[in-house]
Amino acid sequence: MIHRLNLKQLDAFRAVMIAGSTADAAQLLNISQPAVSRALQNFEASVEYPLFERRNGRLFPTPEAERLFLELDKLYSSFDHITNVMKRIQPASDGHISIVASTPTAQRFLPEAFAAFQERRPNVSISLRIVVKRETRKCLESQEFDLAILSLPVDYPTANVRHLVSVDGVAILPEAHPLAARETIHAADFEREKFISIVPDTVLRARVDGAFKSHGIERTRMFLETQSGASICQMVRAGMGVSVIDPFNAQAFGDVGLAIRPFSPRVRFDYGMVFPLNARTTPLALEFSELLSERTKSLDMTGYSTM
């Protein structure tokens, strides 16, 4: 018998499906990894059929989990819409902005921009929804946002997309790795290193793979894949290998145990602002978009920016 739904368990399940691991799900929910694991185990016991296969310490969703996630995401989209409506009519505030963002910009760039904006507009409330690649199309189709900051390109009318910034991918290594002594990492340097990749069918994977192929470099030790740049950084910091990722994720984890170096050949990443199609962009959203544009002019990517 399936028991009554528990929202904390649903949150944990959805976060693991989005992030790909209990560690990354814990970051999304701002709770401990053991708490996520417990909630997930209790949820599986409640539904009475397996939701994940566990192999080599990794979680792989079952077909039942994928089906459940699709239905659950519809429910959460409704919750997001209701929450957005409630915030928009809240009389005590000076307004509300609903932001959608891809994971890299949400790691460091956007939190700092939010802080700067709220210095100007202390009574404006902001909601941020972080989306992974497979959620982007559905999120844009819903039109339930004031502004989206996403990896480019996106399948969306160009008139409603504004380029924000281009940055170069960086090499990341454990701080004590011998190659960390070099000023620049070249593709050939990583040919025989344990290389940690993002999952296939992503912009990051396609561009990084293309950089190595363009120089005829075949990485012979690609044993690890994960669903997020944050997870890649954690694995590299733990000494499990090396990688090439966007500088936003790298800088978010580069304070302790992670060496960040320029990478050759150049791997370019583009980010842009996406505006709603059927509604006039709100003055607050326009103001925030201008702030983002201004901040990219002085964006500190330690020499890696190509604006």
pLDDT in tens, 217-265: 999 899 899 888 888 999 999 999 999 999 988 988 877 789 999 999 9
Over the stretch 104-139, which tens digit does the pLDDT of each residue have?
888 878 988 999 999 999 989 899 998 877 788 888
Residue 93: pLDDT over 70? no
CA within 13 Å, CB half, 264? 7
- Say what the pLDDT of residue 84 is: 56
Give a yes or no: residue 75 inside a domain. Answer: no
What amino acid occupies position 177?
H
Reference 189, options 167, 205, 207, 211; nearest CA is 211
The CATH number that applies at residue 46 is 1.10.10.10
What amino acid occupies position 116?
A
How sure is the predictor about 179, in pLDDT bands with cuts at 50, 70 and 90?
very high
Residue 6: pLDDT over 80? no
Mean pLDDT of 141-168: 92
Tokens, residue 294 = 């201004």
- Say what the pLDDT of residue 303 is: 37
Do 117 and 182 share a domain, yes or no? Answer: no
- How far is residue 258 CA from its own chain's centroid? 19
Do 190 and 262 share a domain, yes or no? Answer: yes
Residue 88: pLDDT over 90? no
Do 104 and 162 share a domain, yes or no? Answer: yes
pTM over 0.95: no
- Say what the pLDDT of residue 278 is: 77
- Say what the pLDDT of residue 1 is: 45
The CATH number that applies at residue 293 is 3.40.190.10
Give a yes or no: residue 135 inside a domain. Answer: yes
CA-CA-CA-CA torsion sign (124, 135, 12, 200): negative
Coil, helix or strand for 123? coil
Average pLDDT of the chain to the nearest whole number: 85
Give a yes or no: residue 87 inside a domain. Answer: no
Do 181 and 240 share a domain, yes or no? Answer: yes
How sure is the predictor about 304, in pLDDT bands with cuts at 50, 70 and 90?
very low
Polymer length of the chain: 307
- Say what the pLDDT of residue 79 is: 56
- Kindly report the number of other CB atoms within 10 A of residue 210's CB atom: 12
Do 175 and 288 share a domain, yes or no? Answer: no
Give a yes or no: residue 200 inside a domain. Answer: yes
Over the stretch 184-202, which tens digit does the pLDDT of each residue have?
999 999 999 999 998 887 8
- Percentage of the chain modeled with pLDDT above 90: 41
- How far is residue 58 CA from its own chain's centroid? 19
Do 137 and 283 share a domain, yes or no? Answer: yes
Give a yes or no: residue 139 inside a domain. Answer: yes
How sure is the predictor about 300, in pLDDT bands with cuts at 50, 70 and 90?
low
Quote the CA–CA distance of 125 and 84 in Å, as a whole number.
10
Do 151 and 98 share a domain, yes or no? Answer: yes
- How far is residue 75 CA from its own chain's centroid? 21
- Say what the pLDDT of residue 187 is: 96
Coil, helix or strand for 93? coil
Do 135 and 180 share a domain, yes or no? Answer: no
More confident call, 307 vs 263: 263
Residue 27: pLDDT over 60? yes
Q: Which range, of 63-67, 72-76, 80-84, 230-234, averages the lowest pLDDT?
A: 80-84
Coil, helix or strand for 36? helix
Spatial CB neighbours of 206, under 8 Å, sequence gap ≥ 6: none
- Say what the pLDDT of residue 5 is: 63
Quote the CA–CA distance of 288 and 198 in Å, as a whole number.
31
- Say what the pLDDT of residue 137 is: 86
- Say what the pLDDT of residue 163 is: 95
Tokens, residue 209 = 């793979």
Do 274 and 130 share a domain, yes or no? Answer: yes
- Kindly report the number of other CB atoms within 10 A of residue 91's CB atom: 4
How sure is the predictor about 57, in pLDDT bands with cuts at 50, 70 and 90?
confident
Residue 92: pLDDT over 90? no
Q: Specify the DSSP class assigned to residue 195.
A: B
Residue whose token pair is 């995401």: 73
Virtual torsion, Cα 267, 168, 108, 201, nearest 10 deg:
-10
Q: Specify the DSSP class assigned to residue 153.
A: P
Do 280 and 161 share a domain, yes or no? Answer: yes
Do 262 and 182 share a domain, yes or no? Answer: yes
H-run or E-run covering 44: helix 33-47
Do 177 and 52 share a domain, yes or no? Answer: no
Residue 305: pLDDT over 50? no
- Kindly report the number of other CB atoms within 10 A of residue 71's CB atom: 8
Residue range of the domain that includes 33: 7-69
Reference 114, options 126, 96, 101, 104; nearest CA is 126
CA-CA-CA-CA torsion sign (298, 262, 103, 39): negative
Q: What is the number of domains present in the chain? A: 3
